[in-house]
Amino acid sequence: MLTNDLLSQWDRESFLHPSTAAGAHARGETPARIIEGGQGVRIRDRDGRESLDGFAGLYCVNVGYGRPEIAEAIAEQARKLAYYHAYAGHGSEAAIELAHMVLDRAPDHMSKVYFGLSGSDANETNVKLIWYAMNATGRPAKKKIISRWRGYHGSGLMTGSLTGLELFHNAFDLPLNPILHTEAPYFYRRPDPAMSEEAFSTYCAEKLDALIRAEGADTVAAFIGEPILGTGGIVPPPAGYWEKIQAVLAEHDVLLIADEVVTGFGRLGSMFGSDHYGMKPDLITIAKGLTSAYAPLSGSILSQRLFEMVAKGTDDMGPLGHGWTYSAHPLCAAAGVANLKLIDELKIVENARDTGAVFQRLLHEAFDGHPIVGEVRGEGLMAAVEFVKDPGTRTFFDASEKVGARVAAAALERGLIARAMPQGDILGMAPPLCLTPAEAEEMVGIARAAADDVAKALGAA
């Protein structure tokens, strides 16, 4: 058996981790944490330490850890047929059943699903499908895609460009053409504190309208947004936002992509965020909750209107020149089928709604009026606490004080994994959707104690 010391040494020597301070990690300045097991909302590392996972991995383990039903479905599929491709009309029973189940749960106007492996490649597919559809319908100049500052849509070249966060742009020469960004619907950081939510939504819609007009509507193909901003700070849209944005898109014949990689399959207490906020997208991106991350699988769900444009293209130009070897991989599809069945059986979406309401109430009770808390916000089982130097004047901490990261570290010390979001001093929480009210209370109690530790160290307690 490999010892922890040897694994840590090999880790430093061999493993370039994603989203990690690479040099410091290789020098052993950041500890390696080797996760060994998980059950429900808790994970366990090889040192025997247990943590409440307040972020469900990367907001993806929707049904919780340790579900034998999914493990068995993957094993059974592996014994029967580990792999066959999906090109040229081939498929497996699992992939076809999953496509049917996804469409059954998606909004009524959605028509087909294209499977990939990650949220990033699904958004890459979305961009290509839209460009293809514009070419197929005789509009080759209509190719620009508008995203929002603080949006997160992946880490590839195109999807990293759609992302609107400095960390993912600055050192990589992104964003690429023809990706544009518009105002983030971040009410707490609105330009004028006197603005109501509705007025701020109007402001965001007017900014989008002005951008489309300045670029020329005949050059703008699509707008992409997460129903609720995720990695950019866990920010629910202000009242009226999606209604006003969709009115602008309709006026200029611009398609809507709802990136539901995080919100798909229950996180907000509805099956999809699009249902939750009355969005009528032409594409929905799904990943994480599709298999609860038991296997890597993503999808692009196309509306009937977009599918007809793509079908016209293939009628005129031949087969779609876009595919991955692992599209609709049978093992991942089997995990997806078992996962969606569990989501129904365990009433996971209803639990996200009901325990989510308890979770949000507990967070407000714990943090409203706290000396370093500017805002508590969220929806369902997705929430954020934003730390500021002076809540009265909305004065932010200097980034060098790393307040968000310090609160996350203090929480970890006390047994809770919560995530310091990459831009701002924001503690994000998005636990597995099987969370119980008692676990919600435990989680919020630890988060509050961690914030108190840091407030005390800052002399603000």
Closest CB to ligand PLP among 117 and 444? Answer: 117
* Residue 389 vs residues 376, 409, 461: alpha-carbon distances, Å: 15, 19, 12
The distance of closest approach from Cβ of residue 282 to ligand PLP in the complex, given in angstroms and rounded to an integer, is 17
- CB-based contact 98:355 (threshold 8 Å): no
> Considering beta carbons, is residue 404 or 428 the nearer one to ligand PLP?
428
Complex with ligand PLP: residue 293 or 309, whichever CB lies closer: 293
Among residues 160, 242, 248, 179, the alpha carbon closest in space to that of 207 is found at 248
Nearer to ligand PLP among residue 230 and residue 330 (C-beta): 230
Smallest gap from Cβ 223 to ligand PLP, in A, equals 15
Determine the Cα–Cα distance for residues 55 and 234; give it in Å rounded to an integer.
Answer: 12
The first and second tokens of residue 180, run together, are: 């544009």
DSSP H or E run through 275: helix 273-277
Q: Which is nearer to ligand PLP, 261 or 333 (CB)?
A: 261
Contact of 181 with 164, CB cutoff 8 Å: yes
Of 160, 177, 186, residue with least CA distance to 215? 177
Q: CB 440 → ligand PLP: shortest distance, Å?
A: 22
Helix (H, G, I), strand (E, B) or coil at 326: coil
Residue carrying the six token digits 């699988």: 297
Half-sphere exposure of 99 (CA within 13 A, CB side): 19
Minimal distance in Å, beta carbon 102 to ligand PLP? 17
| Beta-strand pair 42-45/50-53 | antiparallel
Smallest gap from residue 100 Cβ to ligand PLP (A): 23
Binding residues vs ligand PLP (CB under 6 A): 58, 118-120, 123, 152-154, 226, 230-231, 259, 261-262, 287
Nearest residue to ligand PLP by CB is 119
- 262 vs 451 by CB, closer to ligand PLP: 262
